[in-house]
Every structure is written in structure tokens, then in C-alpha cells.
């Protein structure tokens, strides 16, 4: 069985030009107190930054003229990394939990599996319901499909959890499976 793993979208780190690496004749300057000073020559901006003993950092290189700010470069990078960590922590992480059924499953076992599925869906995880067919059981694919469909309907009707089918019932190498999720 082949699994698809999505890679997390990682924002590329911004590369800032600072101090003498800024090679334009004039810049739009913002001072250390976030006050817009206006368009000044690069020499004037560097002189002001040296007087305050902090860096002149190019914030928006594609603007005309580029926007530079007098700020500590280390603090700027740290605050951006901190913001990225906050965004990463807020990301919704969903897992696909598995539940296995069989062709000869009893009513009590189905009730237990329904409870597990309910718990998984309440945690905003997706549920893969699998039913394996072995040997002569493979002749009863229609019965297996009915068991899975009844299981999915029972989650919605008995437990009142609105669900949707992400991948419909499919047969792969003697195993029927469906992935369901909770509607939000």
C-alpha cells in the first residue's frame, strides 16, 4: 500500500541586505522609532545608523527607491523566526486513523468500532475504514461494500456526527477501504 505524505510548506528565509551591502544611491528611510524620514542618500542613512550603533537593513528591496530601516538585524531575524513558529503551531494537524472491520463482524464489535470512529472524528482526525477479504470471502464483495456503507451511515445517524466521504469505497488487493472526515 502506497502512502502519500504531503510536505509541509516551508517559507524560505528572507535574506536581508544590511549596511554596506546596500548598493543603491538613495533609499526611503525609516528610523528606529518607526518614523518615516523620507528619501535620503545611502551615505546619510548609513551615517545615522552608525551614530545609533545599529544596522541599516533593506526591508523592501523592490520598491522605488528601496525602503530601509534602522534596526538591529539580529532582533529582526529573531522576531521573524518567532512569528513563523507561532504560525506553525497554529496549523491544523490531521491524521488518518484506521478502523478494521471483517465480513463476519458481530453487532457488539461494530458498536465498539463506531465509538472509536466517533472519538477520532471528534478529534478532527480522518478515519480510514478497512475491510479485508481473504480466500473465498472475495466472492462476497457486494456484502463487504454494504457493511462499510452501513458503518459510515451509522456514524452519522447513531452518533450525530456530520461526515463526508473523502475517498469513496475502493477495492485494492482484496481490501475495501473508505476515508471519511468530519464536516466543519
Domain-embedded: residue 3: no
- pLDDT score for 89: 81
- Provide φ and ψ at 22, rounded to 5°: -80, 115
**pTM, entire model:** 0.53
Residues 101 and 178 in one domain: yes
Q: Which residues contact 170 (CB under 8 A, 6 or more apart)?
A: 176, 177, 178
Residues 72 and 125 in one domain: no
- pLDDT score for 111: 93
Domain-embedded: residue 113: yes
Residues 40 and 111 in one domain: no
Q: For residue range 19-37, what is the model confidence (pLDDT) as tens digits? A: 888 889 999 999 888 899 9
Domain-embedded: residue 122: yes
Domain-embedded: residue 100: yes
Higher pLDDT among residues 88 and 177, named by residue = 177
Return the closest-CA partner of residue 27 out of 46, 41, 44.
41
- pLDDT score for 184: 75
Q: Please tell me the total count of domains within the chain.
A: 2
Task: Tell me whether strands 26-30 and 126-132 are parallel, antiparallel or unpaired.
Answer: unpaired
Residues 114 and 174 in one domain: yes
| CATH code (residue 58) | 3.10.20.80
Q: Tell the residue number behind the cell numbers 477501504, with chain if given.
A: 177
The dihedral built from the CA positions of residue 151, 157, 158 and 161, taken in this order, carries a sign that is: positive
Q: What average pLDDT score do residues 50-69 get?
A: 90
Domain-embedded: residue 87: no
| CATH code (residue 132) | 3.30.110.10
Residues 114 and 173 in one domain: yes
Residues 72 and 130 in one domain: no
Domain-embedded: residue 167: yes
Looking at residue 171, the DSSP 8-state letter turns out to be E
Outline where the chain has alpha helix (H): 42-52, 73-90, 107-122, 141-159
Could you tell me the residue range of the domain that residue 107 belongs to?
A: 96-182
- Provide φ and ψ at 10, rounded to 5°: -105, 125
Q: For residue range 76-128, what is the model confidence (pLDDT) as tens digits? A: 889 889 998 888 888 777 788 999 999 889 999 999 999 999 999 888 889 99
Q: Which residues contact 62 (CB under 8 A, 6 or more apart)?
A: none
Residues 70 and 101 in one domain: no
Residues 23 and 59 in one domain: yes
- pLDDT score for 68: 92
Cα gap 41→148, rounded to integer Å: 72
Domain-embedded: residue 149: yes
- pLDDT score for 101: 92
Residues 100 and 71 in one domain: no
Q: For residue range 129-162, what is the model confidence (pLDDT) as tens digits? A: 999 988 888 888 889 999 999 999 998 888 778 8
Look up residue 176 and give its three cell numbers.
475495501
Residues 104 and 169 in one domain: yes
Domain-embedded: residue 63: yes
Amino acid at each position: 500500500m502506497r502512502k502519500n505524505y504531503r510536505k509541509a510548506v516551508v517559507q524560505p528565509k528572507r535574506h536581508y541586505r544590511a549596511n554596506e551591502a546596500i548598493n543603491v544611491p538613495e533609499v526611503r528611510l525609516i528610523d528606529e522609532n518607526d518614523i518615516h524620514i523620507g528619501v535620503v542618500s545611502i551615505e546619510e542613512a548609513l551615517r545615522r545608523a552608525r551614530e545609533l550603533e545599529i544596522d541599516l537593513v533593506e526591508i523592501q528591496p523592490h520598491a522605488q527607491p528601496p525602503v530601509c530601516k534602522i534596526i538591529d538585524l539580529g532582533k529582526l531575524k529573531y522576531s521573524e523566526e518567532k512569528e513563523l513558529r507561532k504560525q506553525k503551531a497554529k496549523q491544523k494537524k490531521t491524521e488518518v486513523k484506521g478502523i478494521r472491520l471483517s465480513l463476519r463482524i458481530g453487532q457488539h464489535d461494530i458498536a465498539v468500532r463506531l465509538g472509536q470512529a466517533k472519538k477520532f472524528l471528534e478529534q478532527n482526525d480522518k478515519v480510514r475504514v478497512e475491510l479485508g477479504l481473504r480466500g473465498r470471502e472475495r466472492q462476497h464483495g457486494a456484502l463487504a461494500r454494504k457493511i462499510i456503507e452501513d458503518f459510515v451511515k451509522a456514524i452519522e445517524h447513531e452518533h450525530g456526527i456530520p461526515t463526508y466521504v473523502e475517498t469513496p469505497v475502493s477495492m485494492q488487493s482484496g481490501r475495501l477501504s473508505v476515508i471519511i472526515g468530519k464536516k466543519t
